[in-house]
Structure 1
Amino acid sequence: MSDQLLTTALPEDQLQILRHALGVGEYGWERSYRNHFVTGPGGADHQHCMALVARGFMVQRAGNAITGGSDLFNVTPAGRAAVQEHTPPPPKLTRSQQRYQQFLRYDGGVTFGEYLRGWR
């Protein structure tokens, strides 16, 4: 059944909600660090979340004190697969861009210029 769900188009608004809920960034290229989306009835986001629940991409949980009474939505495995299916490959980085990405992962407490000069 989930294969059938994935072959249909996913509206951009719903895709953005799934990406936001997972914390994977605007284009879906970042590592997921969460799995929740909080919104209350009456808003456009809530309507999109309910549509995602109907498609099996999210599950809905009743609001509580922590969510301020708003509903809590979690992405299902089918929702994760839909995000992956609708995520284009990341752009090819130049050598300079790759070097800068390495610097961002490096935790040496040096400036980028120092890093380039070999402060490893």
Structure 2
Amino acid sequence: MNNKPTDAQVGLLWHTLGLRPDCRDSRHVYRNRFLAGPGHSDMPDLEALVAVGLMGSRKPPGFCDQSEILYFATEVGERFAIAEMPPAPPPPKRTKFDAYLDECECYDGFTHFLGINQPMFQQRGDWRNREYRMVRYPRGSAYRQYRRHYSFSQWSPYETIEVAGEWAPTMKAAKASYKVALKEYRKHTRYSANDFDQAYGT
């Protein structure tokens, strides 16, 4: 093509057609219009595109300012604009959170999706003498599917608990107690693993 359009003019064609080369989801024509009035900074480039047959122009619709001009890409201009599109950018790297969003209805939060064994609060007593305890059930326990539950009377006191803090008058105190218990649990687990390695020479 003689007088090949400049990059700015190609950009105007893309904008007219609703094309965004930098976006994977906006690479298909969905409109064909560019309204510009007297003194518009893009007017020289728009007229240049009209001169080479890549755009046409006509009066705007009646609800628009009649001093403006409605520019549109011709069939040749549309084919040219599409041909000038660079390759689509690669898809963004999917994260675990993206995978979670695809099936979040099946999980009780992101940590449940990740398989993190969350602690939870238990509660006992009436409102005048209420106590709280933070516990963590073993993996595989039916109780650990619930992120938070406060009514201790709903759960069996004989259910196996992996880590448990002390009963406390506030949730804040219960959480602090749980952190101490968790630290001791991890220390004991680490020492047990070391004893096993020494015993079996692993």
- What is the aligned partner in structure 1 of residue 52 from structure 2? 55
Whole-angstrom CA distance in 1 between matches of 2:17 and 2:83: 14
Q: Deviations over 1:24-72 (max 9, x none)?
A: 1254852211001000122221221111100101111024532312100
- What is the aligned partner in structure 1 of residue 71 from structure 2? 73
Residue 94 of structure 1 deviates from its aligned partner by: 5.6
Distance 1:92 1:64, change over 3 A: closer
What secondary structure, in the 3-state scheme, does the structure 1 residue paired with 2:42 have? Answer: helix
Instruction: Verify: 1:11 aligned to 2:10, yes or no.
Output: no
- What is the aligned partner in structure 1 of residue 186 from structure 2? none
Distance 1:49 1:94, change over 3 A: closer
Whole-angstrom CA distance in 1 between matches of 2:37 and 2:8: 16
Distance 1:75 1:91, change over 3 A: same
Aligned length: 101
The partner residue of 1:83 within 81, 84, 103 is 81
Instruction: Verify: 1:25 aligned to 2:20, yes or no.
Output: yes
Determine which structure has the larger helix proportion and give its number.
1
Residue 9 of structure 1 deviates from its aligned partner by: 3.2
User: What's the Cα RMSD here?
Assistant: 2.6
Larger radius of gyration: 2
Where in structure 2 are there 5+ consecutive unaligned residues? 107-202
Distance 1:114 1:27, change over 3 A: closer
What secondary structure, in the 3-state scheme, does the structure 2 residue paired with 1:59 have? Answer: strand
Greater RCO (Cα-Cα under 8 Å, separation 6 or more):
1
8 Å contact kept, 1:56–1:76: yes
What secondary structure, in the 3-state scheme, does the structure 1 residue paired with 2:27 have? Answer: coil
Query: Taking structure 1 as the reference length, what is the TM-score of the superposition?
Result: 0.68
Whole-angstrom CA distance in 2 between matches of 1:82 and 1:27: 17
- Larger mean CA deviation between 88-97 and 9-18 belongs to 88-97
Whole-angstrom CA distance in 2 between matches of 1:85 and 1:115: 34
Whole-angstrom CA distance in 1 between matches of 2:45 and 2:101: 47
